[in-house]
Amino acid sequence: MLELSNMRRTSSLPARYRVLGWTFVAIAALLCDAGALRAQDPGPQAPPPTFKVERIPAEPHPGPPPLPVEEIIRKCAANEDVMKKAYDAYDFTQSIRLDELSDPGGKFSVTGEVYTKADGLRYMRVTKPAESSLKLMHFSLEDVRVIASMPEFPLTAEEIENYSFKYAGQEKLDQLNTYIFQVKPKTLSRKKRYFEGVIWIDDHDFAIVKSYGKFVSELEGNGTALPFTMFETYRENFQSKYWLPTYTRSDDYFKSEGNEDMPLRLVVHSTDFKVRTAAAEPSGAATASPAADSGSSSSVPLSSPKR
């Protein structure tokens, strides 16, 4: 069963395009296991809304959608191309927080500026020294790099042929009417991770406004010692047309020495979006090894060079 949360928009935009607020609820199980930008746009600042929980069957049997599935997916993929182009034109602040929810528990938090260098690659420059009071596990900048570099737009027009889509019905998220699809990769690869999960597509913009799932390959694990596998991501509306990912959460468990399941929570939050005015890195940023110890003011690469 899957829990769905309603999200309100801000009142400063027309009802059709108000900001989709971010919130979240714990998920009980997976259904099947961006025009030019204005420099003055400060980005979204919506507060957490209230929500109610609704459920859909794990094996849905909805009636046919009002449009052919192929047309919905084609329009969505075309919009993903636009959203990715817009997203790549922004620099923004990103905070990453890991909480141990046991007693006693601790937390790790780090904040940085995500930007693009002249080489076209994304980096995070740590702007606030990392703070850690973790009791059970270690969390380093290498873990930050892997978590922050998860693909945000895996379903572009270039990629959709790698996936199969199963229509799972419609759901109203506050003032948004959405189409729900289960997504699975057709084949797996040892060199690339693919998205597997659920997406919510706005029925007017044909844009993904929420996703829940994991990234899979022929290799086991997620590339880190962290247990997080399932990620719930919310998008917010920019300039009344661009739906960009700003909030990701994952809940999981860590095995203690006594073989107990200790609850953990990971939250990645992006704010203060600004149009990039130069390709150069921020002044004072010094590139460091991806495995540099937390707490430094170095830059951590979030993407690998294209081959």
Rounded to whole angstroms, what are the CA distances from 48 to 21, 51, 131? 6, 9, 25
Greater pLDDT, 272 or 142: 272
Beta bridge partners of 54: 4
Over the Cα atoms of the chain, what is R_g?
Answer: 19
For residue 277, give both structure tokens: 């005015």
- Give the pTM: 0.73
User: Which pLDDT tens digit goes with each residue over 52-101?
Assistant: 545 545 565 677 888 999 999 999 999 999 999 999 999 999 999 999 99
* Cα–Cα distance measured from residue 79 to residue 260, given in angstroms and rounded to the nearest whole number: 44
- pLDDT-wise least confident of 41-45, 80-84, 202-206, 223-227: 41-45
**Is residue 275 over pLDDT 80?**
yes
DSSP 218: S
Whole-number pLDDT of residue 2 = 40
For residue 242, give both structure tokens: 């661009």
Rounded to whole angstroms, what are the CA distances from 4 to 55, 184, 260? 7, 20, 29
User: Which pLDDT tens digit goes with each residue over 178-197?
Assistant: 999 999 999 999 889 999 99
241 within 8 A of 17, measured Cβ to Cβ: yes
**Is residue 153 over pLDDT 60?**
yes
